Structure 1
Amino acid sequence: MLYISLIICFVVSILLSLIAKRSAMTIEETDKPENKFHKTVIPSLGGLAIIISFIAGISIVSPNFTYTIPIIIGATIIAITGVLAERFQLTVKWKFIGQTIAALVVIVWGGVQVSSIYTLQGGYIEFGYLTIPLTLVWIIGITNGINLSPSLDGLAKGVSTIALITMTLMAYITGDSFVANTGGLLIASTLGFLLVSSYSPKILIGDKTSFFLGFMIAVLSISGFNNVMMIYIPAYILGVPIVLHYYLLGKGFTFKQTVSICCSIAAIFSLGAFIFSTSIMWGAIIILTVIFVSSQFLSKYRFI
């Protein structure tokens, strides 16, 4: 059933992306070229293909799993928030309200919570009463992490796919069937869209899907890992390339060059998740964080 659902997600995503590309121009669901890195009006409805195909797939594979219904409802709320944000230019306050409601659905109803995390010494820290607030901050933070700039559409697709592949493979290795299956369906849906879009922005994912991908990566990182990977995957596979793109564009690199470099860096960070032990990963997180933060005080090496 999983293999059939993967094929369904992939094919449906392609078909819906093609349909969305044509219909978005008709209903004026487009991304204007002002202040963007493309020079023409481009359909921004295509990201719904990822969302719809994924929801169809997960409904087939895991209809009775504890997390399934809350995740579908949370993802739908996120998508609606993104659609309204694009259509009516909603302020940050209204986006935050929509994201908070979606996050609370999976946290309170679905029980997707980060209640503890393993430490460098092999023990773990319990969060206690801070569990729900910290989980809420985590989900909202990652949800917005890949939607910081209108120029990030191609980069968001690339690094999100790399992060999803990393989490899915790690979940498969550790025997977490829900995260492995859900991640696989997301990858199939995203790859279908990427075939239609690729680096050249023939059709954009828009806010609705940037929020959705960030939301799902945040939820899956909590669902499957309570160790260092929960921090490492979103922070470095997603965060570093997205922040680095500002620096590269400022140095004169083209958009395609920037996306290629940043996705390559994300892939390198992804390999580290499989090669190194937990203790080494904790050390890498600490060292990279110190280097990154310190660089922001030196104008010569600033990324942002």
Structure 2
Amino acid sequence: MALLELHHLKKYYATQKAVDDISFSIEKGTIFGLLGPNGAGKTTLLRMITGIFFPDEGQINFDGVPFNPLNDIIKIGYMPEERGLYKKMKIGEQALYLARLKGLGKAEAMEKIKFWFKRLEMESWWNKKVEDLSKGMSQKLQFVITVLHEPKLIILDEPFSGLDPLNANLIKDEIYGLAQRGCTVIFSTHRMEQVEEICDHIVLVNLGKKVLDGTVQQIKQDFKENKFSIQLSGLPQQVNSNAFEVIDTLANKLTVKINEGYRSNDVLQYFIQQNINIEAYSEILPSLNDIFINLVESTHATTRSFQNIG
């Protein structure tokens, strides 16, 4: 069942269609990637989902009913890319203050803060001020403040910004854990390798429109190019086959592209007939980064073409 449904959302500014008829849904308990280049419309979408902006057209449903910011905002945790912390305030006091704003009683808030501070190795920070924290430490604090009231929907905008690899893995494990406990996570980032590792489902937006929507694995399958990597015991003097073409060679490893009408077995059979041992054979799927770049570039090219025609 979907926790969040967006139906034909539109948001226009004076000179720009920031969100232009976008629809998608997010299932409960999933980690969902919202992707796009700068200026694509991601931030405007997130601000409509959190009730900061109202759509000019369309509807948002939250947990099966029309989204009501006054009632539903308490069920959402939003960690923006920009720092939203009070620089002069002590960290423990700030965490308690923000937890109370999110509806927690003092005793419950203290219990949850201590739990998360211990879990993320922040116990010694209690009396520090935000201005004394590094960027990565501030990021950990913002993450705790975002999730400690156990919202149904957690929105993380560039959550690994400023984190070293150790702390990035720590936060990543917590994101997995939250999803396993039933939270739904929207993960917005420019880092495609993080998306491939973390997300179940992604939507790519560009120039205010949705250009891609699907599971990570299905999208990689949809954009594959029939490329394979084959490791051989030795290379033949010459490779000449109607079934495939060699597009790259490195030592005894070939990258081949299978021609239309042929199958993997035809490639394998060719080398077997050459009496060459096949040590490894695997399909090469495109990375999300490659898919992202190609789609964004093609969208911009189409837009420029229409502008030139006009």
With the length of structure 1 as denominator, give the TM-score of the two structures. Answer: 0.28
Which structure carries more strand by proportion? 2
Higher relative contact order (CA 8 A, sep 6+): 1
Select the structure of larger CA radius of gyration.
2
Q: Which structure shows the bigger proportion of residues in helix conformation?
A: 1
Q: What is the TM-score when the length of structure 2 is the normalising length? A: 0.28
